[in-house]
Amino acid sequence: MLSNLAVRDIETLVHPYTNLATHRETGPLVLESGKGVYVYDSAGKEYLEGMAGLWCTALGYSNQELIEAAYEQMKKLPFQHIFGGRSHDPAIELAEKLKEIAPVPISKVFYGASGSDANDTQIKIVWYMNNALGRPQKKKIISRLKGYHGVTVASASLTGLPNNHIDFDLPLPGILHTSCPHHYRFAEPGESEQDFSSRMAAELEEMILREGPDTVAAFIAEPVMGAGGAITPPAGYFEKINAVLAKYDILFIADEVITGFGRTGNMFGTTTYGLAADTLSCAKQITSAYFPLSAVLMNERVYEVLVDQSRKIGTFGHGNTYAGHPVGCAVAVKTLEIYQRDKIVEHVRSVSPTFLRRLTKLEEHPLVGEARGVGLIGGVELVRDKTTKAAFEIKKGVGPKSVFFAQQEGLILRAMGDRVAFCPPLIMKEAEIEEMFDRYGRALDKTLAWAKAEGLLAA
């Protein structure tokens, strides 16, 4: 029996990333409040938030300091744009802070309101820059299969997932996808991680040569693939990719939308995996998701070209109303202050061994083919046969079923096909981590019983 709120939801909302047909039958999970690493539904049931919302609520759900930072800024100056050379204190202070903590030398910061628009900005900067440099043919951008970079027309084109392209007439021409560096799924039998990484780099180089190096402008990658399945890179991968990009003068855009601000046990995933990034896209944990805000961080080489070109054209003709929103910037400044004061990176490092121990222990379960992670992010792949790695038929929905059972057990996770992601708030403590995996263990047992009853397992 659907609640009154559920009925009103069905009558009024189109939900992102939802099967809109089944949603009409099942209705929403209506969440009402949050405290620390827990959220509560409209019936008062408690859930551990194993996904930090959507990889974003690093400081949990009831951080009074963030609430006060927003309130104080709302009282003082609730809005001021930064078009036409206007500015304000929070935008300047945040940019200074970002430059200070950036993993590579950064010259300037450009603000937006979402990860998607940050990546659109990246594309536009790359195109603008290559026109300015007198090489208008150097415009193609290479992304990766299973990479996730957003949903706007351009950023969805970067995204390497079929559901973001099918019937949306995407990707745009000039956006290409190279191989997905998921060792468990795509390595040849007996191929080491290093050898697999070499092959991935060689495939990237072949693509560049096939297209013509003078037509390829940039490469974009997440240090850890998020929505593609929480996939950590194989050993040596970025080192080898860096070398290929440097050889052909191809800009490296690091998409730090999930990995930025402590997630991998360093302030940035770029540091954890040694990306030779020229520019970075940041969002989500930049405000612990208490306010929508994104930032493109660019080096001096990129910035100089933008300056020269805007001198020539008369303006840098890009930016949206909420770019550098003072409330968002004030919340971000406070968020970064808390990360540093409370030593969030050190905290992640101290609890990560427990997280990774419990995560990898899931591989002992009959349904789990792979469980890997870094810092406080990890992915689990459910398979029909562990020996052969045979997958379930995707439409049987085994991954989503395990997430449904997790929800029954009071745990929120996210399934991407038969891969299930763990990405809890960074403030999660050891006991809560143990509890999270206890709950998922019970959910997996229920999933196994269900799969057996449905006759889904290998004979």
Widest pairwise Cα distance in the chain:
69
Site string for ligand PLP, 248-277 (x = CB under 6 A): -------x-xx-------------------
Q: Applying CB under 6 A, which part among 28-36, 110-118, 300-308, 353-361 lies near ligand PLP? A: 110-118
Q: Is the dihedral of CA 117, 413, 411, 423 positive or negative?
A: negative
**Strands of the 38-41 sheet, one edge to the other:** 31-35, 38-41, 46-49, 411-412
**Shortest reach from residue 430's CB to ligand PLP, in Å:** 26
Residue 104's closest CA among 277, 223, 313? Answer: 277
Say whether residue 230 binds ligand PLP (CB under 6 A). Answer: no
Say whether residue 217 binds ligand PLP (CB under 6 A). Answer: no
Say whether residue 114 binds ligand PLP (CB under 6 A). Answer: yes
**Which residue type, as a one-letter code, is found at position 270?**
T
Say whether residue 116 binds ligand PLP (CB under 6 A). Answer: yes
Q: Choose which of 205, 222, 278, 418 interacts with ligand PLP (CB under 6 A).
A: 222
Q: Choose which of 226, 262, 400, 417 interacts with ligand PLP (CB under 6 A).
A: 226
How many whole angstroms separate alpha carbon 420 and alpha carbon 379? 6
Q: Is 165 exposed, middle or buried (0-12, 13-18, 19+ CB in 10 A)?
A: middle
Between 287 and 447, CB nearer to ligand PLP: 287
How many whole angstroms separate alpha carbon 181 and alpha carbon 231? 8
Q: At what angle do helices 89-101 and 326-341 cross, to 10 degrees?
A: 40
Site string for ligand PLP, 130-159 (x = CB under 6 A): ------------------xxx---------
How many Cβ atoms are within 10 Å of 193's Cβ, its own excluded? Answer: 15
Q: Choose which of 283, 293, 302, 351 interacts with ligand PLP (CB under 6 A).
A: 283
* Residues contacting residue 314 through CB under 8 Å, at least 6 positions apart: none
The pair of structure tokens assigned to 4 is: 């009154």
Q: Residues touching ligand PLP: how many (CB under 6 A)? A: 15
**Shortest reach from residue 438's CB to ligand PLP, in Å:** 27
DSSP count for the chain of H helices, then E strands: 16, 15
Say whether residue 115 binds ligand PLP (CB under 6 A). Answer: yes
**Shortest reach from residue 255's CB to ligand PLP, in Å:** 5
161-166: long-range contacts, CB 8 A cutoff, minimum separation 24: 161/227, 161/228
Question: Binding to ligand PLP (CB under 6 A): which residues in 49-88?
Answer: 54
**Shortest reach from residue 284's CB to ligand PLP, in Å:** 7
Say whether residue 227 binds ligand PLP (CB under 6 A). Answer: yes
Residue nearest to ligand PLP according to CB distances in the complex: 115
**Shortest reach from residue 15's CB to ligand PLP, in Å:** 14
Q: Which residues bind ligand PLP (CB under 6 A)?
A: 54, 114-116, 119, 148-150, 222, 226-227, 255, 257-258, 283
